Amino acid sequence: MRTTTAPETVAELIARQWGDHRPGLKHEEGVLTHHRTAQEAAARAALLVDLMPPGAEPHLGVLLDNTPEFPFWLGAAALAGAAVAGINPTRRGPELARDILHTDCRILITERAHLPLLRGLDLPGVRVLVTGTEEYEALLAPYAAAKPGEAALRAPGPDSRLLLYFTSGSTGAPKAAICSQGRLAAAGAALARQFTVTPDDVHYICMPLFHGNAVIADWLPALVGGAPVALRRRFSASAFLDDVRAYGATYFTYVGRAVQYLLATEPRPDDRAHSLRLGFGTEAGAVDAARFAERFGVRLVEGYGATEGGASVQRTPDTPPGALGRAGAGDDLAVIDPETGAECPPAVLAPDGRLLGGSAAIGELVNRGRSLFEGYWRNPDAEADRTRDGWYWTGDLFFRDEAGFLYFAGRTDDRLRVDSENLAAAVIENILARWTDAAAVAVYAVPDEVAGDQVMAAVAFREGAAFDPSAFAAFLSGQPDLGTKMAPRYVRVVDTMPTTATNKIHRVSLRREGFRCDDPVWHRSPAGAYTPLDAAALTALMAEYASHGRSDLLAR
């Protein structure tokens, strides 16, 4: 029988699985019991203890799709007192190498499918283990009889690092947020209570496990509640319902445009014939959440809480449509004008929920109370920026209504979230600056028509040069470190780059105008070709924003 004692560490949650022979992990090749998953984690923990070089930081990188090996290694790190750096396979070249080396990974777990990403990278001191190979199985074989708690690099405790998960921000390169076992165990327990997770549930994990969403909001509450998890190697909208039925899934998490992709699938007569009861995530939007509930009979609960843990917004039964909720317990959240430091006035909303006169009400969400933020790995400047003036600055834009409910309004200027991927504008700017025709480049976010952001670039050209869409597309395809989400959706051609009084690029004005400006704008098709955003194309685009209830985010 499962204990009801609140867990202090994730290692404790893994150990609780020992002896539980009910289904614990479902995947494309079969079903493993809770006991078996704990056994596999214990074996890898023992291997990790023997492979980690003496004196090294106990960090391992995991570059995997959502295969059983990913939760095995998460569990192994918890048992061994080690930390996992989630390595994003959409990163490329030197940027990918930087992520691995920055987090001091001495061991990298990957699979054959991702080996081409590592080809040619300089990774000194990093040992690569390739899952699914004979060599890998031979390494593990001597540890098959290991049990939880028998082998550890450091005794796991509430303060032990478990995750070094990357997030983007205003300092440019992705930052590795530190997540301790105690904070993660508490977060999993809170969600398990909120959603009444029991062993009869099945948590479907279709979002990537190298993101905090899948680990914190899906895997961990399943561990706490004793529910099995079901893995999808990579998200597939067309396979979603088939998976849900095959696994008996009752709960899933989502980020970014995932819900829109599901709504874009061909409706079927049996869309409501399934076991799913709840979806939890971010950025679905009120319009698409209502459409999802109407079509699939599944309630979506929107939440807010970054991997860093610095602030959270909790939904209550009286939360109005479009709002995320109020400040979580212990948080003192305020919407602050970052230029003046003053609190923004409450927003004025139309009867249908539209924001009226929003520019004054929108500011950065700040936590003036206690913060669970545990810092960034080897990045004191980013930590100082995040916690300036004794407050925790989220880097996200919000507005608050008269009743105190909070509404998400986008990212601050140097942050973008494209199709669930966090990007830093400075990284993309550095790549675009290699284009010899460009004299100046500014990258910033514009709202996506469905959820999150899209990348927009303003470009001033050198004398005698002009925008050549084919040449620009060819240039982008030749950049080895341009991630799959980084190519600009919109390109604005400017005569001169707008600047502030201190000669910095005036990103605020660029972002406010977006693609509805007087300068020529080009937009990228799904095939990668750039065509003019003429009046007809703009009209069609604006209709798409209106259909998803996001026109108000395009205030000029």
How many residues are there in the chain? 556
Residue 357 has a pLDDT of 59
Percentage of the residues of the chain whose pLDDT score is greater than 90: 69
What distance in Å separates the CA atoms of residue 282 and residue 305, rounded to the nearest whole number?
Answer: 9
Verdict on whether the full-model pTM lies above 0.85: no
Q: pLDDT digits over 443-462, tens only?
A: 999 999 988 899 999 999 98
Confidence tier at 419 by pLDDT (50, 70, 90): confident
What distance in Å separates the CA atoms of residue 488 and residue 523, rounded to the nearest whole number?
Answer: 8
Q: β-strands 175-180, 161-167: how paired?
A: antiparallel
Confidence tier at 31 by pLDDT (50, 70, 90): very high
Average pLDDT over residues 478-504: 82
Strand partners of residue 505:
499
Q: How far is CA 500 from CA 133, 154, 348, 510, in A?
A: 56, 51, 29, 12
Confidence tier at 522 by pLDDT (50, 70, 90): very high
One-letter amino acid of 206: C
pLDDT at 80 over 50: yes
Closest by alpha carbon to 398, among 412, 377, 415? 412
Residue 4 has a pLDDT of 56
- The mean predicted confidence, pLDDT, of the chain is 91
Q: pLDDT digits over 231-248, tens only?
A: 999 999 999 999 999 999
Q: Which of the residue ranges 62-71, 183-192, 353-362, 366-375 would you say has the lowest mean pLDDT?
A: 353-362
Evaluate whether 461 touches 493 at the Cβ level (below 8 Å): yes
To the nearest 10°, report the CA torsion of 45, 162, 113, 49: -20
pLDDT at 62 over 70: yes
* Helix, strand, or coil (residue 492): strand
Evaluate whether 64 touches 214 at the Cβ level (below 8 Å): no
Strand partners of residue 349:
355
Q: How many helices (H) and strands (E) does the chain have?
A: 18, 29
Confidence tier at 500 by pLDDT (50, 70, 90): low
Q: What is the CA radius of gyration of the chain?
A: 24
Confidence tier at 296 by pLDDT (50, 70, 90): very high
Q: Which of the residue ranges 37-51, 143-157, 273-287, 342-356 would you say has the lowest mean pLDDT?
A: 342-356
- Lookup result for tokens 């992990």: 25
Q: What is the 3-state secondary structure (H, E, C) of 373-406?
A: CCCECCCHHHHHHHCHHHCEEEEEEEEECCCCCE
One-letter amino acid of 234: R
Closest by alpha carbon to 166, among 441, 425, 421, 369? 421
pLDDT at 532 over 50: yes
Q: What single DSSP character describes residue 173?
A: S
Residue 415 has a pLDDT of 66
